[in-house]
Structure 1
Amino acid sequence: MQLIEVTDKKSRKLFHQVPHPIYKGDPNWACPLEGMVENVFDPQRNPSFKNGEAIRWVLFDEKNNPIGRIAAFYNLDKAKTFEQPTGGCGFFECVNNQQAANRLFDTARDWLKSKGMEAMDGPVNFGENYMNWGLLAEGFMPQGFGMPYNPPYYLDLFENYGFKIYFRQFSYHLDTTLPELPERFWKVAEWVAKKPHFSFKHFSWKEKERFIDDFARVYDNAWRFHEHFKPIDKDDLEDFIQSAKSLIEEEFIWFAYHEGEPIALFVMVPDLNQILAKLKGRITIWNLPKVLWLKSRKTMTRTRALIIGIVPKFQRSGIEAAIFWNLRPVMYKKRWYREMELSWAGDFNPKIVALYESVGGKRAKTHYTMRYLFDRNKPFTRAPIISADQGKEKSKTEQEN
């Protein structure tokens, strides 16, 4: 077997060719857009390069056929929040051959070691975790946009190499006609939504900068009590919004405010995978008319909720129900959207798991974030569970001090 680094147009093309024979005949797979994948590895487009690096390779068999690929990367802002500096590997694709997989994993490990890392997570993204994050282990069905899909045997390839589950990620599905939610839910939601000190507003391109600031404030306040928290990079957020501009529907992104201060956010996008499944990873001048036709035909009948965040002080206040109350007329107006994927809830965060279940979500998929410690004698520990009152307790202590 031969391994080459991706450095030019020819090797980039080979990198994108690897998955196609692996998923041939699999109706659940939607080939990611090559342009979006390339943006991850473009220092001009990905803010993670400000304090990190990335590299990728393609593996060939004895007949010079591409049979695997992998990327390795690290971001020092995140790597050093762990007990041991931890990088990542991702965009992994491989035939069902442990020797081939080991060669890819070894290469990623050795490169990360040379950069001072002592562990690697995979398969993960070189950027935020709401895209390209996790190994599908349960629920082999069409995935929401940005959610990874892989053959079942990938889990064996990872575990046989020595990766262990660092945390599980649960995705929930919700019938957006919402018939299963009791009337009591909507009464509580309406009661909270109409409280005079609360207000709600959906995203608008005209006020993009304001909403980016509000997003960052909610995100940082909602997640800053997590053990490995790092403030969100506004440049990263700006890049995602711009790259997804054609996909974003303003009424699918909601913010909640308390006396004018942002306290909660909800971000959802149409499931572009329902269109991408009919393409081959590229939108070109030749197939653009087909894309527009498919969109006009209401081909996208699913949505994917990328993120929901609530600052600790207002958790368990019914704000999440009030957001759904504001979203409800939008979904009734756009009745061709019939299913919502709520992804993803980490098993380390029982609050978000409870939230998704409280709005009627049914657990449908499980992804794993795997970790490999380079020191094979070091004890392995799972991601710590976030206690229900952790954020409120720390917030109270900060106020007292």
Structure 2
Amino acid sequence: MQLIEVTDKKSKKYFHKTPHFIYRDDPNWACPLEGMVENTFDPQKNPSFKNGEAKRWVLKNSSGELVGRIAAFYNLDKAKIFEQPTGGCGFFECMDNQEAANLLFDTARDWLKTKGMEAMDGPVNFGENYMNWGVLADGFMPQGFGMPYNPSYYVKLFENYGFKVYFEQYSYHLDTTLPELPDRFWKVAEWVAKKPQYSFRHFSWKEKEKFIDDFAQIYDNAWRFHEHFKPIDKDDLNEFINSAKFLIEEDLIWFAYHEGEPIALFVAVPDFNQILAKLNGRITTWNFPKVLWLKWRKTMTRTRSLIIGIVPKFQRSGIDAAIFWHLRPAMYRKPWYTEMELSWAGDFNPKIVALYESVGGKRAKTHYTMRYLFDRDKPFTRAPIITTEPGKEKSRS
């Protein structure tokens, strides 16, 4: 087998071409935009390079055919929050061949070792976790925008190499055409939404910087109790918002405030994968009119929630229901959206799992975030359960 580091136009072309061989007969796959993938590996566009590095490789077999690819990366700001410095591998694609997978994993591991890492998570993103994160283990159907899709044998390739499940991520589907939620839910939601101490605003491009600041404040306050908490990078958030400008609909992104202080957020976007499935990975001058036409034709019938966050003090206040009460009219104005995916509920965060189930979500997909410890004798522990009391997280073996 021939391993090729991605360093020039030719090898980049190989990198993007590889998954087309993997999914050539799979109608569920939507090819990610090559430009968005390239932005991940561009130091000028990905803030993770401020204190990190990334490498990627493609693999050919003895006949010269592309059979796999992988990227490895680390960000010292995130790597050092764990007991052992932990990097990542991602953008993994491979034929059902353990020898090929092992060579790709070995390559990522060996490079990360030279950078002082002692473990690697995979498959993950070189950036925030709401995009390109996890290996699909259950729910082999079309995925929401940014959620990874892969053949069912990928879990086996990771496990056979020695990766173990660090945590699970669940996606819930909500049929917005059905009266899933009881009247009592909406009455409570309205009651909370109209309390004078609370106010609600949806995102506005005119005040983008303010909302980025509010997002960061809510995120940091909502997750700071996690054992491995790392404040969100506002540059990373700004880059994502700008790159997704074509998708963002202002009234699908809501913020809640208590006496003017930001306390909760909910972010959803249309499922661009429903258009990407028809583009073969590229938006060009020639097919952009097709993109606009597909959007105008309401091809996107699903939305995907990227994140919901609530400051702990208000997690039992009903503020989550109040946000849905404000979101509800927006969905009514857009009847072509018939389904909402409530994604990325980590099994370490039982409150979010309970919230998604309380609003009528049905669990449909499971992704795994897996970890490989370079010291094979070191005891493996799973991600601890989040609590709102510092130092009292529940460990799991």
TM-score band, normalised by the shorter chain? Answer: over 0.9
Match of 1:43 in 2: 43
Distance 1:332 1:52 in 2: 44
| CA positional deviation for 1:386 | 1.4
Unaligned runs of 5+ in 2: none
2:73–2:89 Cα contact (<8 Å) kept: yes
Match of 2:161 in 1: 161
Distance 1:146 1:163 in 2: 23
Cα distance per residue 1:63-97 (max 9 Å; x no partner): 11111000000000000000000000000000010
1:177–1:331 Cα contact (<8 Å) kept: no
Match of 2:280 in 1: 280
Match of 1:82 in 2: 82
Code of the aligned partner of 1:50: K
Cα distance per residue 1:332-391 (max 9 Å; x no partner): 00000000011111111111111111111110000000000000011111111113x436
Distance 1:308 1:320 in 2: 9
Cα distance per residue 1:96-137 (max 9 Å; x no partner): 100000000000000000000000000000000000000000
| CA positional deviation for 1:27 | 1.1
Matched, 1:183 2:222: no
| CA positional deviation for 1:21 | 1.3
Matched, 1:354 2:354: yes
Match of 1:324 in 2: 324
1:312–1:391 Cα contact (<8 Å) kept: no
1:277–1:338 Cα change, 3 Å: same
Matched, 1:205 2:205: yes
Which deviates further from its counterpart, 169-178 or 361-370?
169-178
- Which runs of structure 2 are paired with 1:294-309 in the superposition (5 Å)? 294-309=294-309
Match of 1:249 in 2: 249
Q: SS of the counterpart of 2:69?
A: strand
| CA positional deviation for 1:311 | 0.2
Matched, 1:260 2:260: yes
Distance 1:25 1:5 in 2: 27
Code of the aligned partner of 1:59: L
Q: SS of the counterpart of 2:200?
A: strand
| CA positional deviation for 1:177 | 2.8
Code of the aligned partner of 1:219: Y
Distance 1:228 1:69 in 2: 29
Distance 1:391 1:325 in 2: 32
| CA positional deviation for 1:392 | 12
Code of the aligned partner of 1:347: D
TM-score when normalising by structure 1: 0.97
Match of 2:5 in 1: 5
Q: SS of the counterpart of 1:390?
A: coil
Code of the aligned partner of 1:318: G
Distance 1:52 1:86 in 2: 12
Q: SS of the counterpart of 1:18?
A: helix
1:197–1:259 Cα contact (<8 Å) kept: yes
Matched, 1:217 2:255: no
Distance 1:115 1:201 in 2: 44
Match of 1:397 in 2: none
Distance 1:250 1:260 in 2: 20
| CA positional deviation for 1:25 | 1.9
| CA positional deviation for 1:39 | 0.4
Q: SS of the counterpart of 2:167?
A: strand
Aligned-pair identity in percent equals 83
1:380–1:325 Cα change, 3 Å: same
- Aligned pair count? 393
Match of 2:389 in 1: 390
| CA positional deviation for 1:18 | 0.2
| CA positional deviation for 1:393 | 8.8
1:121–1:371 Cα contact (<8 Å) kept: yes
Distance 2:27 2:195 in 1: 47
Match of 2:312 in 1: 312
Distance 1:309 1:236 in 2: 18
1:72–1:88 Cα contact (<8 Å) kept: yes
1:123–1:133 Cα contact (<8 Å) kept: yes
Code of the aligned partner of 2:47: P
Which consecutive aligned stretches of 4+ in structure 1 deviate over 4 angstroms post-superposition?
Answer: 391-394
Distance 1:319 1:391 in 2: 23
Code of the aligned partner of 2:389: Q
Distance 1:25 1:56 in 2: 25
Q: SS of the counterpart of 1:43?
A: coil
1:118–1:373 Cα contact (<8 Å) kept: yes
Distance 2:170 2:183 in 1: 26
Code of the aligned partner of 1:85: P
Match of 2:333 in 1: 333
1:313–1:392 Cα contact (<8 Å) kept: no
Distance 1:18 1:392 in 2: 44
TM-score when normalising by structure 2: 0.98
Unaligned runs of 5+ in 1: 395-401
Code of the aligned partner of 1:329: P
Match of 1:398 in 2: none
Q: SS of the counterpart of 1:383?
A: strand
Cα distance per residue 1:145-185 (max 9 Å; x no partner): 00000000001100000000000001101112351100000
Code of the aligned partner of 1:158: F
Code of the aligned partner of 1:285: T
Distance 1:102 1:346 in 2: 27
- Which runs of structure 2 are paired with 1:84-123 in the superposition (5 Å)? 84-123=84-123
Q: SS of the counterpart of 2:381?
A: coil
Match of 2:73 in 1: 73
